Amino acid sequence: MTDITEFDSQHYLEMKHIVSQFEKLTDIGVALSSEHNSTELLEKILMGAISLTSADGGTIYLIRDQKIEAEILHNTSLKSHATSKDGVKIAVPLFGEDGEPNLKNVVSYSYHKDETINITDAYNAEGFDFRGTKMFDEKNNYRSTSFLTTPLKNHQHETVGMLQLINAIHPETKNVIPFDAIAQRFCESLASQAATVLTKQELITDLAQMFESMIMLIANALDEKSPYNGGHCRRVPELTTMIAEAAHETQEGYLKDFTLTDADRYELRIAGLLHDCGKITTPEAVVDKATKLETIFDRITLIETRFEVLKRDAEIAMLKRENDALKAGKEVPAVILEYGLKSNIDFLTEEFAFIKTCNTGGEFMSEDKVRRLNSLKDLTWQLNGETLPLLSGNELYNLSIARGTLTDPERQIINNHVSVSISMLSAIKWPKHLQRVTEYAGGHHERMDGKGYPKGLTREEMPIQARAMAIADVFEALTASDRPYKPGKKLSDALFILGKMSEEGHIDPDLYAAFIAHDIPKRYAAQFLTADQIDI
């Protein structure tokens, strides 16, 4: 009767221990599935395995480049804990110099044989090279005895790493004991879960990196598309982030409740990189229009040729009059002829210089200049006996552009890039943490007073992130030194214009205030502007 009772008691304790281990394994599995940081994930795997098996220590290895490399080590007795980031460099080759599998080291043997290796005493084990272990023991006054090594195999039966535990500790006597069958089974179960989670995490990381690479590919392609727009898709995200961070750091007023998480920052960065993706459909002739008369080439050269023809014709006409007078026996004073020729040539030279100035574009084309241009519409020149206008209607139309180099239809083509961007981005099935990329990217040409495009949104209808990007896009355009129609403005001039835009309802006044208060202009200038632009 006593023996049966003792058996039942022992059986009960074993079952209680197993149930406890199952609960612990479940808790570890839940913790692993919710961990997104790769380093923390490895920590939880190793410490979970040590806890499950009552081991004194252990190591997690990862498979890289035909080697098994130690990624994280722990030893409770020695009070040591280190990772590869701490400078730990332990690597076991998978193959020897002869190309044959390395079966001398326990972890490599376990990898090749695809099985768990349970060693009772390393000092008495045959067939394995434990010289490194014995050197470690001697150096640290330690005794490595029992080892449990198992592959980390994922759902595709691929070995992605190795888990090695050392010195199982008896829970009561605290003596080193072998790893029993129960400890081994739980270790193998944890290893299977861990490998799957590691693979999932690696897949997520790989997909995220591929996604970012694709985003950068698009952004770089947009910048490369135009030699005059290089770097725009890189500078705007940087500046947008600076402005958003300034809003995040503002502790009073309208922005005091605005906060950014790391996920928010990532979402905004992606939106910034893609804010001009619609320009991929915009014709280069419009994007790169450096002068008002540029199409495939700058038509100012054609007009210059016509003026040169008129000068030549004027000189020929003078010589002809002089020759006719001589034939008729009349004497015409040369000074009179030359004066008339000079006056004509001076007029033509002056008018072409004026046209050339008009062709460069700029901030504003005055009404006086437009009237002067229109006064030239009746001038003609001769080509093959045909009388033609010196300036065509299309040339006059382009030269009369009030701001910049684009006509109204061309500006509509440029402006349409935002609608195209929204359409392109809306077609993407964004994950939950990137749901607002389209909204942020699509709002960078909206105005606080509702006069922007493409939707005419007002301040209240726009998220703060989109308003930050709107300021970034304007400031970058004002200071960019790679635009075809103007040089980059000095910092003081750009800030003066931006201040006016804030007062006139173009940009968000609170964000503009944070932009100034947190010294964003100078920080941005130090990184992206030329020395001669930084005048404050």
β 67-75/55-64 pair status: antiparallel
Residue of higher predicted confidence among 511 and 214:
511
pTM, full prediction: 0.67
Please state, in angstroms and rounded to a whole number, the distance separating the CA atoms of residues 125 and 121: 6
Burial (CB < 10 A; 0-12, 13-18, 19+), residue 288, is middle
Cα–Cα distance, 170 to 179 (Å, whole number)? 10
| pLDDT interval class at 485 (50, 70, 90) | low
* Per-residue confidence band for 1, with pLDDT thresholds at 50, 70 and 90: very low
- Please name the residue that has the structure tokens 């001769």: 382
Distances (CA, A) of 358 to 348, 392, 403, 514: 15, 15, 10, 38
> Residue with structure tokens 């690479």?
213
d(CA 187, CA 184): 5
Q: Which range among 379-388, 403-412, 452-461, 462-471 shows the weakest confidence by mean pLDDT?
A: 403-412
Q: Identify the pLDDT of residue 53.
A: 87
Return the beta strands (E) in 76-138 as ranges: 80-83, 91-93, 117-119
Q: How many residues does the chain have?
A: 536
Its sign, for the CA torsion 334, 335, 338, 343, is negative
Q: 416 and 278 in contact (C-beta within 8 Å)?
A: yes
Rounded to whole angstroms, the Cα distance separating 440 from 422 reads 10
Average pLDDT over residues 10-39: 58
Name which of 425, 431, 426 is nearest 266 in CA terms: 431
What one-letter code names the amino acid at 503?
E
Q: What is the pLDDT of residue 414?
A: 81
Burial of residue 424 (number of CB atoms within 10 Å: 0-12, 13-18, 19+): middle
Tokens of 79: 């009070």
Give the pLDDT mean for 327-331: 77
Q: State how far the alpha carbon of 140 is from the alpha carbons of 72, 119, 128, 133, 228, in Å.
A: 18, 21, 21, 11, 64
204 pLDDT band, cuts 50/70/90, is: confident
In this prediction, residues 105-131 reach a mean pLDDT of 93
Average pLDDT over residues 313-342: 80
Averaged pLDDT, 335-358 = 88
Query: What is the distance between the alpha carbons of residues 272 and 233, in angstroms, rounded to a whole number?
Result: 7
User: Can you tell me the distance from the alpha carbon of 211 to that of 198, in angstroms, rounded to the nearest whole number?
Assistant: 20
- Residue 242's pLDDT band (cuts 50, 70, 90): very high
What residues does 68 pair with on adjacent strands?
63, 92
pLDDT in tens, 173-199: 999 999 988 889 888 888 877 777 777
Alpha helices in 361-463 (DSSP H): 367-374, 393-399, 408-426, 437-441
Distance CA 215, CA 277 (A): 10
Return the DSSP state at 489: P
Mean predicted confidence (pLDDT) in 515-527: 95
In the block, residue with structure tokens 């995040």: 248
Residue 416's nearest CA partner among 282, 289, 287 is 282
d(CA 502, CA 517): 14
Residue with tokens 């790893």: 179
Q: Would you state the pLDDT for residue 406?
A: 85
- The span from the CA of 251 to the CA of 256, in Å, is 4
Which positions ≥6 away from 106 have C-beta within 8 Å? 117, 119, 128, 147, 149, 164
| pLDDT at site 301 | 92
Which residues face 69 on adjacent strands?
Answer: 62, 91
Q: Are strands 91-93 and 117-119 parallel, antiparallel or unpaired?
A: unpaired
pLDDT band at 13 (very low <50, low <70, confident <90, very high): low
Half-sphere exposure of 59 (CA within 13 A, CB side): 22
Q: Please state, rounded to an integer, the average pLDDT across all residues of the chain.
A: 87
Give the residue carrying structure tokens 């795997």: 45
Neighbours of 37 (CB within 10 A): 10
CA separation for the pair 406, 399 (Å, rounded)? 10
Q: Which carries the bigger pLDDT value, residue 524 or residue 11?
A: 524
Overall average pLDDT of the 329-354 stretch: 84
Amino acid in position 293: L
Q: What is the mean pLDDT of residues 253-276?
A: 94
Strands 67-75 and 80-83: antiparallel
| Helix, strand or coil, per DSSP, at residue 156 | coil
- Give pLDDT, residue 410: 86
What is the percent of the chain where pLDDT is above 70?
A: 90
Alpha-carbon separation of residue 176 from 142, 179, 291 (angstroms):
12, 9, 84
The 8-class DSSP code of residue 128 comes to S
Dump pLDDT digits (tens) for 25-40: 556 555 556 556 667 7
Cα 73 from Cα 51, distance rounded (Å) = 14
Percent of the chain past pLDDT 90, that is, above it, reads 54
Tell me the angle at which helices 367-374 and 334-359 cross, rounded to the nearest 10 degrees.
Answer: 130
Residue 91's φ and ψ, nearest 5 degrees, are -135, 135
The CA-based diameter of the chain, rounded to the nearest angstrom, is 158
